[in-house]
Amino acid sequence: MSASRNLPLYLKLAAPIVVLAALFAVFVQAVWGPQLLATQRALLLEREHDVIRNVAPTLQIDLLAFDFAAIFETLRRVEGINADERMTVELFNATGRRLYPLAGPSSALESDERIELRQPIEHEGKPLGELVLRMDITDKLADIEAQIQALGNLVLAAGAVVLVLAIASYYWLIGRPLTTLAGVAARLGEGDFAVEIPQAAVKGSGVLGEAVVRLRESLSQTRAERDAHSAQLAASLVRYRTLQDSMPGALLVLDRSGRIEEYSGAAEDVFGYRREDMVGQRCDRLFPDVDCQRNLALAFEQAGEATRDSAHEGRHADGHRVPLRVFHRTMRIGDEIRMVVVAMDISRIQAAERKLLAAKEEAERANQAKTVFLSRMSHELRTPMNAILGFGQILQMDPVMAEDERKESLDEILRAGEHLLNLINEILDLSRIEVGKLSVRREAVSLDDCVQRAVAQTRPLAQTLGVRVEVAGFEARPVLYADRTRLMQILLNLLTNAAKYNRRDGWIRIAVSRLSAPDRWQVDIADSGVGIAESDLARVFDPFERVSAHEHVIEGAGIGLALTRKLVEAMGGEMGVDSRLGEGSRFWFALPVGEVDEAGGAVADRPAA
């Protein structure tokens, strides 16, 4: 069987022809030859029968005439003609007496191929005698058999020549193309899809060759698609591994039994174990929680789309515990449910939180200390300052101090004292706001009245600086829900700043508008002053910041705007600024709308919401 597998394809395909040729040879030798020999023997017998049948009429006439000389002559002529066939002829009369030859046969024929033919001679139904012909056809049959054998050999030789020519033609026309295609098929089976297929082989094999060509093209295309798909899969795997390893947390994929199927490179940093050591291990090696298995089973029972997170402790390879924030989610991967776990090491975050908390506590202590210090210092400064102002006012009542030089000095003392007292009051208010001790009594306040009063108090300063104050007419009587005293403080601070930081022949415009969402009244105080640079807008409301101090020497400590904004926010409002350097500024604040009575006046108070 193994030897037949090693035979060339064309020999395998030619085997049926060879078998048919062998069967033909057997047929010639075993069937055709003997049948031909039997046919020749029958023909020989038939010819001898013809001989005695032809002689019988002559002998009939001679027997009727008792012409024995003619009978003898005829029979000797028959024997003479067939002398080479070892023939003997005998003639008997009706009674069985031999008439020829008179002395009996010269010799008996002893042979396997001896034949005996008898021909009765009759006349009008009466027997006249019997002619007996005996002959040995051994030599004759041997000659015929030799001729048949020679003819058989010739037929076999011709058949062999035809077989060789047929096999050669078969190989050239069919076997060779098939052998070539078999080689091509073997190369295709080895993965060589670029193998060349000779055109002669394609033409010689017909449909089969065309099918092989199409097969090669199909396999080549499939190979190209597979290679492209493999390249995409490889690139996707590389991206997946890169993303997996670049994640800040350890990525694990667990089966239902808690065995680890995926273990990212980041997990090596978190837990200290190598990937090849952990794949196939149980997750409780990483999570020493005694309820790990129970929690895992519960998570699989509650499988869903939601991602859950919890705090756990992990075990590092060196034995120390690692604080973790664990995010887990069950997902269907193929036909199986798997759990995807991301464990993030939060030890640095916890350390940073502890540092931040310590810094916050330290800052709160420092701020409290600062607030207490400012409050105490303000009170300590306020007492002597009140004494200075009191003695200054007493001196102002003295006629002796009414002289010009003394009066100017005394007025400067009182003005400086009042400025310092206002500064101390602002510092106290700011410190109270920061510690949450500033009392604010909110009620319905007429914004129109407060604006008119603030403008009246600020107008002398504005006139001194050459600035005009303009108030836009109000369409309705706006009522705010605010603290009247703090509202006046806000308006006075903003109007005073607008006047101080303005230019001569400048202007201040006050406008009021109502906002719908939320329901508030907004007050805009615009000026034509020096403006504020865009880079300074972010710190204009910071305490002790004076963004224009480098251009204008104006008294102040940079507390007013910070205090103003905090007062607005304390009353549930908001405040902002729009400004361009050299074009002026617009400060605005918005406070909740207050209630109005039927007569259009402000309601005294508003219930807490």
d(CA 345, CA 367): 34
268, 396, 476, 496, 609 from 521: Cα distances, Å:
61, 44, 11, 21, 18
Between β-strands 308-315 and 87-93, what pairing exists: parallel, antiparallel or unpaired? unpaired
Cα 80 to its chain centre, rounded Å, is: 111
- Of 83, 152, 98, 159, residue with least CA distance to 129: 98
Reduced to 3 states (helix: H, G, I; strand: E, B; else coil), residue 57 is: helix
Q: Angle formed by the axes of helices 404-435 and 560-570, to 10°?
A: 40
pLDDT one-digit tens code per residue, 398-414: 666 666 666 667 766 76
556: left (phi over 0), alpha (psi -120 to 50) or beta: left
Contacts of 209 (CB under 8 A, 6+ apart): 177, 181, 197, 201, 202, 203
What pLDDT is attached to residue 550? 42
Coil, strand or helix at 13: helix
Q: SS3 of 203, please?
A: helix
Q: How far separated are the first and last CA of the chain, in Å rounded?
A: 103
Q: Which residues of the chain have pLDDT under 50?
A: 1-3, 108, 549-551, 599-600, 604-609
Residue 574: its pLDDT value, please?
A: 92
What's the pLDDT at 604? 46
CB atoms within 10 A of CB 116: 11
Per-residue model confidence (pLDDT) at position 596: 59
CB contact at 8 A, 349 and 366: no
